Amino acid sequence: MRGIEEDEDLPHLWQKPAYSVILEALEKLRVEPPVWGAKVSRSEIIKQQAAVQTAHERKEAIAFLSSIIKSGLSWLGDDDEREVIWEEASKRMSERCGRTAMGEIIRSWPFENPDYGAFSLTIREPPLTGDSLGLKTWGSSYALAQRLHEFASGPLAHLVRSSQKTEEVLELGSGTGLLGLAAASIWRKTVYLTDLPEIMSNLEHNASLNRALVEERGGRVEAAPLTWGGSEEEVDPRFRSGKRFELIIVADPLYDDDHPALLASAIDEQLALNPDARVLVMVPQRDEITKDLCRTLRAELGRHTNPLICHHENIVDGEDDWGDGNNDDSQQVGFWWGILGRSS
């Protein structure tokens, strides 16, 4: 968030400021959600952002935005200019109402490690509509993505780095694509990003935004629909034969009671029968509901003809990206990750 300097007071509408003057002021009031990483926590970034403006300045900003939204802006004379100003003022107001109300945002997510160097992924997040939670990037995706190099040199080395390594990875429930794009860039694999048909437009857009970078790093990404338990038209032909992938990744996939069974079936359908095949999954432990969904998923994975058992697991501390950021403590989350494979 950029602050308004003392010598740059917000324009007064009674003075009938020019279109360019109002637009410049609105740009300076832009609020962007924080991106955090291993070196700087989300709560620290929020504190830094909050320090940019005093409480008085924030109150003035709200009053200024409200006055624009209520004004007819009659002195601007051009209907298109008025529409632009109203739209930008509404965006600045929604940005101050928490993430559920925030409009479209584009964020750059940084990655840096001696194992793979430094790069950033550009991710677009459209406004949240209905229950399309896949249009937002969740903290678990970033938390898991930042540990991909550790898994590559550890429990997934036989699939990522050995002479018998797999070349293709399937991501289920990709959402905005951050995890899958990171996997393609860090592991240098072909990663299939999949989700519900209504999520595909934004997922394909993010794949396109980052395709050149991913390919420069030796990876490749493809986006295609794959609805868990869906009809034929909801599943891309590439996934209909089943039992094809030796490595599947998934982050934060459970937010409804029927999701554990649906996800378990999708994993069973797509995971190769090879005993070396693995699923890497991360589920946030936000509350008792999410913890119970995680337990149910593990139970469901063990009920299939070729059951999956957990070979490695842990809970790591992390930060979530939900809410308005006013209560930093509520953003601290434990992320459970597990690596599962066929029992025989």
For 158-167, the pLDDT digits (tens) are 999 987 788 9
Q: Which residue has the higher pLDDT, 202 or 344?
A: 202
pLDDT at 139: 77
What's CA 336's distance to the chain center, in Å? 17
pLDDT at 95: 67
Q: Which residue has the higher pLDDT, 299 or 91?
A: 299
Average pLDDT, whole number, for the chain? 83
Please say if the pLDDT value at position 257 is more than 70: yes
pLDDT at 153: 94
CA distances from 54 to 57, 59, 277 (A): 5, 9, 54
**Alpha carbons 264 and 171: distance in angstroms, whole number:** 14
pLDDT at 6: 35
Q: Which residue has the higher pLDDT, 247 or 334?
A: 247
Please say if the pLDDT value at position 35 is more than 90: no
Question: Nearest Cα to 255, choosing from 173, 145, 180?
Answer: 173
pLDDT at 45: 47
**What is the four-CA torsion angle of 129, 146, 182, 198, rounded to 10 degrees?**
-20
For residue 292, report the phi and psi dihedrals to the nearest 5 degrees.
Answer: -70, -40
Choose the weakest-confidence range: 40-54, 66-80, 230-244: 40-54
Mean pLDDT of 98-118: 79
